[in-house]
Every structure is written in structure tokens, then in C-alpha cells.
Amino acid sequence: MGIEPDYDITLSQQNDFSEVRFQKGDSPPPAPTDSFFKFEVTTLYATSHEPFEIGNNLLDFLSGQVVSTLTKVRRPKFSIKADVFADGMMCTLKIRVYGQNPGQFAIEFQRRTGDTLSFNGTFQKAAAFLESQPHLSLQSNEAPAPVLSFMPPELPAGLAEQSVDEVDLQPLLDMTSLVSSPWLQAEAATALSKLAAEGKAAMRTDRVFQGIGELMQSSSTDVAHPTACLVSHLAEQGETATLFASHGLLQKMIDKVHSPQTNVPIRRQFAQALCAAVQWQTRSTLTQDAATSLLHQLSGILNTKDARWGHDVIQNLERAQLTLGRQFEATHWA
């Protein structure tokens, strides 16, 4: 018996969907016959004469219909694992395809980690996308009832009002330091991101930016995604320029972009936020020494840039470098 190929996508290969396409002749394994086995409610049932196209349809969905990063593809097992990002939330899901009767297949979606709302929304989008494929016929008589769309839980009453102060934010800010509970950090980052998007003045304080610094120390993707969204919202607000500088968040954003552990969509978000944040920096918000240090770091990263980061990431880093160079009259920083 030969060794089964295992197509694992490493962090440096993320989103290169072309290398993991299913091939004609690939066929899903049969569904388990164990009496204890039961499909998840988030399972679609379909008929197709070209089962390998089911796998490619799933890859097309993940690459074109949602923001996602592949982490593992196993063609022999017809399984795909990916991180999906939406509205400041993310989930890790696994999709497996099983053969049933001739020409009939079960497409099972499993949430492995992350936000339930994000997973449910992704499943519904996937069902609609697969239903639109001409070679694939979903069997509505066997398909589970649609997963309901739930509204995100409302913020505490004090946070829903126009006036929000640091006392209202304190429970969320206390959660930002809970490194042993990344799911609570992710919750805090998501709630703070919504407030930042609304332009709440209470988000422009030292204590909030201290909490963001704590969130950015996390290596969890669940935390990094809403934190990147949070930073992006604040970076658009000129009143935060001094806070970004004094709390070292410009440096931390560069570190996140450069880290090989940063997911592709998150890297893109941090690069965009960095470019926006430096637009507000002047000699009154950032020291010459700090600007020079940032320019040195940006120069080093761009000299060793990875094309797989994507054009937009590299472009935002180059814009940030150019902006800092102009504002601080630096003509050479290498």
C-alpha cells in the first residue's frame, strides 16, 4: 500500500489555490458505515457526474466568495481546512466530501474553532454558491433546514448610548490582557472594533491603546483578525496619531506584517492600517529617532519582501515608507 499524499498548505503558501486543485479521476471516500457516525446538521447532499468538480467548487467558493486562507487540503480524503474572515470575526472550518450511492455525495461543513455566526454565514453562502453550479444538483429533500442568521449580541446598555466613557469600556479592557483565554480577547477586540468604527471618543485614550498593545501580543489568529480591524478603524482617525506613536503600535503593526505566522488577510489589514496611521504622523507626534527606526525597519522588510504577500501589502508598506521619509525629511534610511 502506497503512502497517501497529504497536501498541507504552509503559512508561506496560503491562498495559492492553483496548486491544490482536484483532478479528474479524484473521487471522495465512502461515508463511514459505523452505526455511531452521524453527519453534522451543516451537511449538503448533492448529485454529480464529476465528483472532482465538487472539490474545485469548494476551492472556488473559498477563494472568490469569502475572505479565507487555506491551511490544509487532502485530495485523497476530499477534505479542506480553512480560516474564514468576516465582519471582524473569523472561524476555522473543515469541509469533507463523502460518496454515498452512485453519483450521490454528502458535503459536510464542520466548525473547528472560532465564531459561530461567521461559520453559519459561511455555510449559508456556500450552500447558495453550490446550488448555482450547473453540474451540481443539491437534493433539497435531504438537505438540513437552513441555519438561521442570528444577530450579534448587543453591546451592554452603556456602550449602546452615544456617550461612552472609560468606565463603560473597562470590562472589555480587562479582557484584553487575558492571554490564557484568547476567545475572551477575541470577544473584546470585536466589541472594541465596533465602537472604533462608530468613532467613539472614548476609544481614543491611553488605556484603550494599552489594551490594543496587549491584544497585539497574542499569536492567536482568532485575536489577530478583530484586532487588525480595530487598529484599521482607529488609524483612519487623525486624533489617534499621538497614541499610535506613544504606545509603539506603528512598530507592532510592522512586526505583524513581517511575521510568518500572520495570515494573509490579516497581513493585508495591518499593512493598510499602517499606511493610514503614518499619514497623521508629524514631528509633534513622532520623534525623529522613532521615525528613523521605523524607516530602517520598513527598508529591511521591503528589501526582503515576499511576493506571496500580495501587491497591495507591498504597496502599502512602500507608501508608509515614502510618507515617513517625506514628513521627516529623510532621504536615506537603509
So where are the chain's domains? Answer: 7-138, 164-327
310 pLDDT tier (thresholds 50, 70, 90)? confident
Residue 16: its pLDDT value, please?
Answer: 55
Q: What grid cell was written down for 151?
A: 444577530
Residue 285: its pLDDT value, please?
Answer: 94
Provide the CATH number for the domain formed by 164-327 in this structure: 1.25.10.10
pTM over 0.75: no
Residue 5: its pLDDT value, please?
Answer: 47
* The pLDDT of residue 207 is above 60: yes
Per-residue pLDDT tens over the stretch 245-301: 999 999 999 999 999 888 888 999 999 999 999 999 999 999 999 999 999 999 999
Burial class (CB in 10 A: 0-12, 13-18, 19+), 204: middle
* The pLDDT of residue 231 is above 90: yes
* The pLDDT of residue 158 is above 60: no
**For range 135-149, the mean pLDDT:** 58
**For range 34-58, the mean pLDDT:** 90
* The pLDDT of residue 8 is above 70: no
Our measurement of the distance from residue 37's CA atom to the centroid of its chain's CA atoms, rounded to an integer in Å, reads 31
What top-level class would CATH report for the domain 7-138? alpha beta
Bridge partner list, 82: 70, 93
* The pLDDT of residue 160 is above 90: no
